Structures are given as C-alpha cells and as structure tokens.
Amino acid sequence: MNHSSPQPTPQTLPRHLAVIMDGNGRWAQAQGLPRIAGHRQGAKTVDMVTMECARLGIEALTLYSFSSENWKRPAEEVDFLMALCKEHLVEQRSRMVDNDIRFRRIGRRAGLPDEVLEESDACEEATRDCGGMTLSLALNYGSRAELADVARSMAEDAAAGRLDPRDIDESMVTTRLDTAGLPDPDLLLRTAGEMRISNFLLWQISYAELVVTDVLWPAFEISDLHQAFTDFSGRTRRFGLIDPSPGSETAAKGP
C-alpha cells in the first residue's frame, strides 16, 4: 500500500512501540500462497520496521511474534514458525550489533525448542552492550501467564521471609515483568484491522494509545508506520486528567 504520510519528528514519536503483527495468513491466502509464505513475508516486514524504528531513535520496540495460544495451530505451521524464528535470529544477529540494537526475548522459556532458546540467548549475549533501541521479541508469551509468574515470585519471596506483603506496590510488579527496565509502551499498533488486545502486555499498555490499521502485516510499509506515528502525535494523553484548556500544560500531547 503506497501512500504519502508526514515524516516523523522526535516530537511525534513514541518512546516504546508495541506491535501485534496480524494478517500473515490472510495475505498469503489473497496471494494464492500457503500460510507459511505469509509468515516468511512477515519476517521481512519485521526487519524493515525494526531498522526504521532504530533509525528514528525509538527507545524500545516490542513485537508479538508467537503467543502462548499459538501452540494450538497446526503442528506443521508451528514447526515452520519455530524454524523461521531460529533462522531469523541467526541472520539478524550481526545486523543488530552493527545497528546498536539490543535484543531481548520475553515470554516463558518452557515449551520453546532448544534451538530457538539457544539462538535467542546468543542474540541477547551478542547485543548485551548495545546502547541503541531495545528490540523485544515476544515468544511463547501471554500477559496473563506473565502476571501469574510475577504473583508466584512475590508469593515465594513472602513465604521465605524475603518480602513483606505490605511492601508490594505497582512499581514492584513492574520490576518483575518481562519488560522490566523499559518504559511502558505509549503506542500499541495492530495490523489487519482486528480490534482486540489478544493477551499482549496487559499491565504495560494501561495508558498506551491504540492505532489499528487494516493493512495486513506482510504488506505493511514504512509509510504505514509513519502514518501510525502521525495518528499517535495527534492524540491528547491525559493520564486521568481533564482536557487541557488552550495553552495549558496539564495534559501531555504526543509521546
């Protein structure tokens, strides 16, 4: 989809962009191709979006790659997705280092193939000292599971006497999430027109702006990304405050 859109400026950009990448299967079906062709084309979109976000100076990019519910898909498709993930991590490791991108995997380790864990660990190690954008890939991720894991860890610490339950607050929960150390997403983008969150970063996106585009992920282009940033920059982010009067600074505009 080719269309012009205003070029992003630092004032219009989010600090943290989270993306639900949807529409790979529908794109492939529309092209008369098998679903796996959509996933492979979608991986190319991942590279494009990652490099553009890094170029623009965005602090963090989190991509919903494989949810804990995606294991219900046909075994052949799941096997392909795992193989594609491993291949992609191997191919992009040096590129991430060259572009100062720090890699992070979020989601439960249990259940992921050893080769995927090995390559994701290798990417994290290779990019550990990178100081640019943090790219988080959500693999075997589900937000409810993440929050349950946080609750379990606090309960274990309390039972062992390492934590006073009265000290539990929102900041403590935040430090135990998979995204600890990153700012919360201020923009959640979903492709393919679906109007749901799909168990993604439920705690972290409490105050995120939502942008949904009808563009399928494999067809998503830089101009579509820029348009999402333009939509984001037009929002008034009140964080519970009232609408500001003209010239007032009681609400945040944009990021």
Catalytic residue among 2, 22, 169, 186: 22
> Ramachandran region of residue 3, left (φ > 0), alpha (ψ -120 to 50) or beta?
beta
> Ramachandran region of residue 224, left (φ > 0), alpha (ψ -120 to 50) or beta?
alpha
User: Phi/psi at 20 (nearest 5 deg)?
Assistant: -95, 105
In sequence order, the 6+-apart residues with CB closer than 8 A to the CB of 199 are 67, 68, 69, 142, 143, 144
Catalytic residue among 24, 70, 100, 199: 70
Alpha-carbon gap, residue 48 to 43, rounded angstroms:
9
Q: Position 80: which residue type?
A: F
DSSP state of 71: G
Exposed / middle / buried, residue 132 (Cβ in 10 Å: 0-12, 13-18, 19+): middle
* Catalytic (active site) residue 70: yes
* Catalytic (active site) residue 79: no
Nearest to 187 by CA among 146, 136, 237: 237
Intra-chain end-to-end CA distance of the chain, in Å: 26
Catalytic residues: 22, 70
